[in-house]
Amino acid sequence: MPGPLRPRRSVLFLPGSNPRALEKARALPADGLIFDLEDAVAPEAKDGARASLAASLIASGYAPRELIVRVNPLDTAWGHADLAAAATLPIDAVLLPKVESAERVRLTSNLLDALGAPPELSLWCMIETPLGVLAAAEIAGASPRIGALVMGTSDLTKDLHAREVPGRLPLLTALGLVLLAARAHRRAVLDGVHLDLADAEGFARSCRQGRELGFDGKTLIHPSQIEPANAAFSPTAEEVARAAHIVASYAEAVAAGKGAVRIEGRLVEALHVEEARRTLAFAEAIAAREAG
């Protein structure tokens, strides 16, 4: 469900079974928090993690961060209980792991309706298998609840039998296909995690590449990655100033009966003005987020 422009530069995964991490997250500068009940929680701890997470969310204190719960798959012993809990919690979205079909999305959406979930509760979908990548367009359009597609690059790399290399060349086709699917259906789309916490240069390079490709932000595995991701996916002061100049110059051209204007030797038309306005709106949304 497309909504207001919302910063999603940094979205941090947190283990739902770690009370200390849940408490610390209330003060982190991440745009979003994904409370994980799936990969980060051992089978014997899943029921306890669900209850502990529910208590933390009900206690509140996470605003203005976007809150997402990653549930276990519906075909596991914990999936339905996770979804039932998520339907009643004060969160923004449910994240489904390893989504490979539109049918799985529709089934989950129908279950949320039956469980009494509010219509504004979004579904986010992890795209982390070859089948999921190939079905991304159908997944993105499967339900009005769909809010975002999230790249699961670690599992995808494994399934492709690919190498983890600088520049992520083996993943570029998949990244592009999922990005196209998300944009075709006006959904947000987040880049995958960077696992090497000692590789700050590689993380910065991955963020830069993700932004250049068109991703809205990056999923993270450690709080130390939040500030670099926020910086990488925020428009610079120069970009904001240029956007304001484009909007103002184009308005003058239109008032003079022209449909285009040349700025610094480059032709600027309506499509460039639309993107400039988005940059300005995004900068305002970031400022409002940080003020909150």
Where residue 85 sits, what CATH number does that domain have?
Answer: 3.20.20.60
Collect the ranges in the chain with pLDDT lower than 50: 1-2
Q: What confidence score (pLDDT) does residue 4 get?
A: 65
Q: Which domain holds residue 259?
A: 237-291
**HEC letters along the chain:** CCCCCCCCCEEEEEECCCHHHHHHHHHCCCCEEEEECCCCCCHHHHHHHHHHHHHHHHHCCCCCCEEEEECCCCCCCCHHHHHHHHHHCCCCEEEECCCCCHHHHHHHHHHHHHCCCCCCCEEEEEECCHHHHHCHHHHHCCCCCEEEEEECHHHHHHHHCCCCCCCCHHHHHHHHHHHHHHHHCCCEEEECCCCCCCCHHHHHHHHHHHHHHCCCEEEECCHHHHHHHHHHCCCCHHHHHHHHHHHHHHHHHHHCCCCCEEECCEEECHHHHHHHHHHHHHHHHHHHHHHC
Q: What confidence score (pLDDT) does residue 206 get?
A: 97
The domain boundary, picked from 217, 232, 247, lies at 232
Residue 116 maps to a domain: yes
Q: What confidence score (pLDDT) does residue 260 get?
A: 80
Look at the chain and report how many structural domains it folds into.
Answer: 2
pTM for the model stands at 0.94
